[in-house]
Amino acid sequence: METYKIDKNKLKEKIEYTGMKQSLLAHKVGVSEKTISRWVTGKVFFVKYHNLEALSHALNCHKDDLLEDRDTGLIHTLIEEELLEKLSPYDNFEMVEQIFLHAFNDRLDEKTKCRAYLVLANANWKNKKYPLALSYLDKVSKCAESLKDESIWFEYYYQLGTIESIKGEQKSYETLVKAFDLRAHARSPLLIGKLSNNLSMMYREMGDLEMALSYMEEAYRYFEIAEKYYNLSIACQGMMTIYNELKAYEQVLKYGQLGKYFSNKASYDQGYDNVLLYEILALFELDRPISDEHKAVLRKVTKGDYKDYFVLEFVFIYMIRSKMDYLDLFVMYKEHLPIFVKAMVYKEMGKKEEANEIFKALSFEKRFIN
């Protein structure tokens, strides 16, 4: 259970102000008089949350009025230094969440709170905690209404649309377009690049590969401006996805080389492995052998513990086309695969009805199989 560091002087002042005896306070809080004495004298510095809540209620004050002051400048620094982006290649999203929660307090101005909520939402959906991410976005929308800050609305719609897209919800396109209409208010080129990347993947899923390519090229340009190797690796993976479907396999390998370079520069090991998996289908179609490096990452997939489920679309397509035994593996991953990926695998398997059922549910008319 989380604990909080109490300020003995603040507590003593509040008790003196109310004129309450420590024995009565102990009764109201539900602890011994000895415990109250230890808090007041500083012999015990930390209290559990439920005791802090009861203490503030008994003394008719805010919880922060009893705690040691925390540096409100810290959270500003964490936001400006883009801590989340720095740790993204290492998947340390829980660390980001804990750092921001520790630095967060009610004395922050509304705009800083809002930006902190955006970081917390981002960290949670990247960690696949979608309900918690949505709860933080709900906080963002409530405080954004009073701030009248279009840059916050841009990030709100971008994150909300991304979550909706991951969950396969039809409304995600409209939400992302709302963000795109506000892109002039984005705080950095990185954010516009991320949005363009997501719109590209949305168009690709809808079957409009020309628009997908256009948006991904824009994403790549913005990531270059921002000089973000991690995001450039993501864009290269997006290019490989589109070009694989366009059967432009030389282009797939071109962006594969770039993707591996950027992944190494960002120390993004998962991205490097993803690039290798995207390359496998292209190499097969070009009748070229796969390397030991490709075989090693493919073995990770066949063990059933590969976590980036979107890239598995092309792994299964490769296995089907190369006549490999894939059915047991498909069953193993089936419950984890995004709904669109399932449809594309069904299509490759020749299961027209199953694929069309999903495409119809997603309203992806261009994807219907005749």
Q: pLDDT grade, residue 89 (50/70/90)?
A: low
> What are the phi and psi torsion angles at 48 (to 5°)?
-80, 160
Q: pLDDT grade, residue 99 (50/70/90)?
A: confident
Among 87, 25, 33, 81, smallest CA distance to 57 is for 25
> What confidence score (pLDDT) does residue 80 get?
58
> What confidence score (pLDDT) does residue 87 get?
53
Distance CA 202, CA 173 (A): 7
Structure tokens at 65: 């009025």
Fold of 3-66: 434 Repressor (Amino-terminal Domain) (1.10.260)
Q: What is the mean pLDDT of residues 14-18?
A: 91
Comparing 101-115, 316-330, 331-345, which segment has the lowest mean pLDDT? 101-115
Q: What is the mean pLDDT of residues 257-267?
A: 97
Cβ partners under 8 Å of residue 230, min gap 6: 85, 88, 89, 262, 266, 268, 271
Answer yes or no: pTM beyond 0.95: no
